Amino acid sequence: MDFNDSAEEAAFRAEARAWLEKTVGQPNAKSNLRVEGPEAMEAAKAYQKKKFEAGYAGLTWRKDVGGRELAPIFQVIFGQEEQKFQAPTGPFAIGLGMCIPTVIAFHSPEKLKRYVGPALRGEEIWCQLFSEPSAGSDVAGLKTRAVKDGEDWVINGQKVWTSGAHYSDFGILLARTNPEKEKHKGLTMFVLNMKAPGVEVRPIHQMSGGSNFNEVYFNDVRISDTERLGEVGNGWNVALVTLMNERLAVGGSMGPEYGEILELARNTPSPSGKGTLLQDQAFREKLASWYVSAEGYTLGKYRTMTALSKGQTPGPESSIGKILNANRMQDLANAAIEAEDHYGIISDPSLAAMQGAFHNAYMWAPGLRIAGGTDEILRNIIAERVLGLPQDVRVDKGVAFKDLPGGR
Amino acid sequence: MNFDFSDDQKMLREQARKFLDEKSSRKIVRDVLDNADRFHDATLWKGVAEQGWLGVAIPEEHGGLGLGGLELCVLAEEIGRAVAPIPFSSTIYFFAEAVLASGSAAQKKALLPKIASGELIGAFATSEGPGAPSPPSVEATFDGSKLSGVKIPVTDGDIATNAVVLAREGQGLSLVVVDLNQAGVKREVLTTLDPTRGHAKLTFDKASAERLGKAGEGWELAEAVLDRAAVLIAFEQLGGAQACLDMAVDYAKSRFAFSRQIGSFQAIKHKLADMYVAIELGRSNAYYGAWALSTESSQLPLAAAAARVAASDAYYLAAKENIQAHGGMGFTWEVDCHLFYRRAKLLAVQAGGPSVWKEKLVRRLELKNVA
């Protein structure tokens, strides 16, 4: 066992770090601010362009589409370094991490020339149009219709929880092309121009107060059949390729961790009134559990990296990370607020602990437990794909989608 | 990055699993469980010695194989999986590790070869009554050559030939090593929650003993032994927890209720998924502990505490929910679920319980945070 990079990996990491130092500036692990607004977007696009020119974009992709065909471990290493430098990669995560790999797998050579380069250079941003108001955990239950009309498809319906739709140029759209078929068999995937007539993007006002996601409405939107990804009716299998690519992209908890709450407890009185909260035994036991969970998550990533390093593909076991992180984020934020007793209710950044970071985590964590696979769906995935337990009884097998309860 | 066991170590695991499947079958474990006079399987112990396992981490000059802590972790996981009725942990993780860490050249020469050959069964005696031992609580005394006092319970104290004992010497505490087959030692066998391992009350009345390590450093030396043992026991716990999950998965696939495999119900799926998450969390922390153990890292105290806390939680969860997944059958004597439920508790409280280790973890985290 050792935690060192191989010689080749170490050389790559050093080279990446030198480039990031030159391009982004000093590492800044403490800054946790979300980039918003047009200026931030311009900066992100400029960064992506430099990244492409330096050869760090599309590291694992085929050479004929502009990639370097490196092993996935190099993508992970570059991502780790980018994170340390707080490089502005956010707007491209979904497009380059999930959409374009799907486009590469299924689109025609001419279209690859059209789409891959601009995406790699940061000129065009992509989003993923899967979830719908009546199709969340059960994505294949979606109802957005695509009807063939000459050489085009006409789209009507609505998507929801679409990250970045308001600044995206293109999206991959999963739509129902045949409601006479079974649920999973009547779907088809398309590339959608987000600026096309009839596409309307409306921000969702979240319980946290922010707006990180959108609703997207389609009103007689036309898509050429040449923008179809894969065969008609094979959309579900295309979508699985997209979702598989999500596994490499799972992030950390994005909130305060045991170190931050330890500091808070050091300066907060204990509930007994004697000493600090950090001296309170009940608090100490919780702190130990958060430590074990947070470190276990990080160490688990090292195990994934080891598998990648040996050329293996990470499986569905990485679903563990989000269950652990989202729940720890919620519990820890809750404990931090309760730690301060009545004062803990104050959100004003000039008065609140960590400028309100615990409140932000408290209000963001419920979303994190749902987004990208709910706690419950992730447990199903572990049970079925890792432990090999049988699927639940299916009431939708062998039934045309239109005949399912709620299928219309 | 290579955060995994080597191919050789994985091969050792396969061999160990094969050996234990045969020699420490559930029938062997149950023979010990069902026989009130037996607390270990002597044939299995001999077989384990012949396999060389007892000397895995003992240097070649003292009759061992001279391999390291990682190999011991691999064996520990398999022993835990098999619920093996042998004094492996007492002899190896505690007694041998204490001698290796603190023994004089003469003590190593005298004791280690006997451990490697299986002739010496060791025990580690710190507890004197309810509650975790602390420096002021220790009443056993050592006067430089004679040991007096009571230790209860001592795991494998019924069959051990030698013990390392924590005792008061003058103003401080010392570790002493004592031969248990002498007139000044009285053994009383105890009944416990886990009858597949022996336990005794040991009463010392001016028993001849030798100091292990420096006088007055006994508490610190014992803590260091416990840190190393915590990592190794964590692997035993994870082996046991994984066996529980495997049992529960098999049962959930083969048992039908409401005309369905019960494993197709989400209530069962989520229970088993939670067991899996807890075990993997334990495994990641235990791997780090194994790395720290094998490299003598300064991170060992914190890593050991995290491994122990995570593995204790995982084994308890897996053992109790395995019974639940089995329904009424899980509550019967003849189904094996209770073997793990019993061993889970022994391993959780031997070497300090979960609350003690959570406290150690936070204390060590505070030190790290200050530094």
Ordered DSSP codes for B347-363: HHHTTS-HHHHHHHHHH
Decide which of B216, B250, B285 is a domain's last residue. B216
* Domain membership flag for residue B2: no
Q: Which domain holds residue B244?
A: 219-370
Check whether residue B223 and residue B200 sit in a common domain: no
Q: Is the confidence at residue B317, as pLDDT, over 50?
A: yes
Joined together, the tokens standing for residue B147 give 């040991």
Check whether residue B109 and residue B30 sit in a common domain: yes
Give the number of domains in chain A: 3
Check whether residue A235 and residue A273 sit in a common domain: no
Burial A91-127 (b: 16+ CB within 10 A, else e): bbebbbbbbbbbbbebbeeeebeebbeebbbbebbbb
3-state secondary structure of A63: helix
Dist CA B211 CA B103 (whole Å): 9
Q: CA torsion, points B277, B283, B286, B290, in degrees to nearest 10?
A: -160
Please tell me if residue B259 touches chain A, with a CB cutoff of 8 Å: no
Q: Which of residues 307-326 of B touch A (CB under 8 A)?
A: 309-310, 313
Q: Write the CATH number for A336.
A: 1.20.140.10
* Domain membership flag for residue A399: no
Q: Which residue in B70, B245, B252 is closest to A1 by CB distance?
A: B70
pLDDT given for residue A32 in this prediction? 40
B196 and B181 Cβ atoms separated by less than 8 Å: no
Dist CA B156 CA B86 (whole Å): 9
Check whether residue A183 and residue A210 sit in a common domain: yes
Check whether residue A232 and residue A319 sit in a common domain: no
* Domain membership flag for residue B32: yes
Indicate yes or no: CB of A306 within 8 angstroms of CB of B291: no
> What DSSP character marks residue B171?
T
- Least confident interval from A14-18, A74-78, A149-153: A74-78
Chain B closest CA to A158's CA: distance in Å? 30
Token pair 């939680």 is at which residue? B313
pLDDT band at A319 (very low <50, low <70, confident <90, very high): confident
Joined together, the tokens standing for residue B277 give 């998450």
Q: Which residue in A3, A9, A296 is closest to B281 by CB distance?
A: A296
Please tell me if residue B5 touches chain A, with a CB cutoff of 8 Å: yes
* Domain membership flag for residue A77: yes
Check whether residue A375 and residue A273 sit in a common domain: yes
Dist CA B231 CA B15 (whole Å): 22
pLDDT band at A33 (very low <50, low <70, confident <90, very high): very low
Q: Write the CATH number for B245.
A: 1.20.140.10
Check whether residue A276 and residue A371 sit in a common domain: yes
The angle subtended at Cα A168 by Cα A97 and Cα A195, nearest 5°, is: 140
Instruction: Quote the mean pLDDT of chain B.
Output: 96
B199-212 and B256-257 as β-strands: parallel, antiparallel, unpaired? Answer: unpaired
Nearest to B229 by CA among B72, B79, B122, B119: B72
Dist CA B261 CA B270 (whole Å): 15
Q: Which residue in B4, B252, B306 is closest to A1 by CB distance?
A: B4
Indicate yes or no: CB of B276 within 8 angstroms of CB of A306: no
* Domain membership flag for residue A395: no
pLDDT in tens, A355-379: 999 999 999 999 999 988 899 999 9
Gyration radius of chain A over CA positions: 23
pLDDT band at A305 (very low <50, low <70, confident <90, very high): confident
Check whether residue A57 and residue A138 sit in a common domain: no
Check whether residue B265 and residue B354 sit in a common domain: yes
pLDDT given for residue A247 in this prediction? 59
Taking the CB of residue A375, how many other CB atoms lie within 10 A of it?
Answer: 16
Q: How far, rounded to the nearest angstrom, does the alpha carbon of residue B326 sit from its chain's CA centroid?
A: 27
| Percent above pLDDT 70 for chain A | 95
Q: Sign of the C-alpha dihedral, residues B146, B148, B151, B154?
A: positive
Check whether residue A148 and residue A53 sit in a common domain: no
| Percent above pLDDT 70 for chain B | 99
User: Does A30 or A310 have the greater pLDDT score?
Assistant: A310
- Least confident interval from A153-157, A171-175, A373-377: A373-377
Contacts of A137 in chain B (CB under 8 A): none
Please report, as a single letter, which amino acid is at residue A128: Q
| Percent above pLDDT 90 for chain B | 96
B364 and B227 Cβ atoms separated by less than 8 Å: no
3-state secondary structure A22-50: HHCCCCCCCCCCCCCHHHHHHHHHHHHHH
Check whether residue B186 and residue B112 sit in a common domain: no
A388 and A349 Cβ atoms separated by less than 8 Å: no
Check whether residue A366 and residue A271 sit in a common domain: yes
* Domain membership flag for residue B363: yes
Please report, as a single letter, which amino acid is at residue B296: E
pLDDT band at B355 (very low <50, low <70, confident <90, very high): very high
| Catalytic residue from among A9, A246, A263, A317 | A246
Decide which of B97, B117, B137 is a domain's last residue. B117
Joined together, the tokens standing for residue A162 give 């679409």
For range B327-331, the mean pLDDT: 96
Check whether residue B171 and residue B269 sit in a common domain: no
The angle subtended at Cα B20 by Cα B16 and Cα B22, nearest 5°, is: 125
Decide which of A243, A261, A278 is a domain's last residue. A243
User: Does A138 or A1 have the greater pLDDT score?
Assistant: A138
Decide which of B101, B117, B133 is a domain's last residue. B117
Nearest to B304 by CA among B220, B234, B222: B234
Joined together, the tokens standing for residue B205 give 């009345």
3-state secondary structure of B315: helix
pLDDT in tens, B28-63: 999 999 998 899 999 999 999 999 999 999 999 999
Indicate yes or no: CB of B310 within 8 angstroms of CB of A296: yes
B172-179 and B162-169 as β-strands: parallel, antiparallel, unpaired? Answer: antiparallel
pLDDT given for residue A250 in this prediction? 47
Check whether residue A265 and residue A228 sit in a common domain: no
B74 and B53 Cβ atoms separated by less than 8 Å: no
- Least confident interval from A108-112, A195-199, B1-5: B1-5
pLDDT band at A96 (very low <50, low <70, confident <90, very high): very high
The residue among A5, A283, A292, A374 with the most chain B CBs within 10 A of its CB, best to mutate, is A292
* Domain membership flag for residue B58: yes
Check whether residue B71 and residue B138 sit in a common domain: no
Indicate yes or no: CB of A292 within 8 angstroms of CB of B264: no
Residue B234's alpha-carbon distances to A38, B206, B243, in angstroms, are 52, 36, 14
Q: Which domain holds residue A55?
A: 7-88
Contact partners, residue B130, CB within 8 Å, separation at least 6? none
Instruction: Quote the mean pLDDT of chain A.
Output: 91
pLDDT given for residue A36 in this prediction? 63
Taking the CB of residue A302, how many other CB atoms lie within 10 A of it?
Answer: 20
pLDDT band at A216 (very low <50, low <70, confident <90, very high): very high
Element (H, E) at A215: strand A213-224
Q: ipTM value of the model?
A: 0.92
Check whether residue B212 and residue B223 sit in a common domain: no
3-state secondary structure of B250: helix
Render A362-379 in DSSP notation, one character per residue: HHHHHHHTTTTS-HHHHH
* Domain membership flag for residue A181: yes
Joined together, the tokens standing for residue A185 give 């068999």
Check whether residue B128 and residue B208 sit in a common domain: yes
For range A116-129, the mean pLDDT: 96
pLDDT band at A30 (very low <50, low <70, confident <90, very high): very low
Check whether residue B212 and residue B240 sit in a common domain: no
Taking the CB of residue B10, how many other CB atoms lie within 10 A of it?
Answer: 12
Give the number of domains in chain B: 3
Residues in a beta bridge with A175: A188
Q: Which of residues 223-252 of B touch A (CB under 8 A)?
A: 245, 249, 252
* Domain membership flag for residue A100: no
Decide which of A198, A215, A243 is a domain's last residue. A243
pLDDT given for residue A6 in this prediction? 87
* Domain membership flag for residue B1: no
Dist CA A192 CA A170 (whole Å): 6
Taking the CB of residue A405, how many other CB atoms lie within 10 A of it?
Answer: 8
Q: Write the CATH number for A211.
A: 2.40.110.10
Nearest CA in chain A to B245: A387
Residues in a beta bridge with B216: none
Dist CA A149 CA A129 (whole Å): 22
Contact partners, residue A327, CB within 8 Å, separation at least 6? A365, A369, A375
Predicted model pTM: 0.93
3-state secondary structure of B215: coil
Q: Which residue in B264, B272, B309 is closest to A292 by CB distance?
A: B309
pLDDT band at A227 (very low <50, low <70, confident <90, very high): very high
Element (H, E) at B142: strand B141-142
Decide which of A189, A220, A243 is a domain's last residue. A243
For range A60-77, the mean pLDDT: 90
Gyration radius of chain B over CA positions: 20
Taking the CB of residue B84, how many other CB atoms lie within 10 A of it?
Answer: 28
Q: How many CB pairs below 8 Å do chains A and B form together?
A: 152
Dist CA B26 CA B339 (whole Å): 9
* Domain membership flag for residue A157: yes
Dist CA B279 CA B319 (whole Å): 11
B122-125 and A199-203 as β-strands: parallel, antiparallel, unpaired? Answer: unpaired
Burial of residue B141 (number of CB atoms within 10 Å: 0-12, 13-18, 19+)? middle
Q: Is the confidence at residue A252, as pLDDT, over 70?
A: no
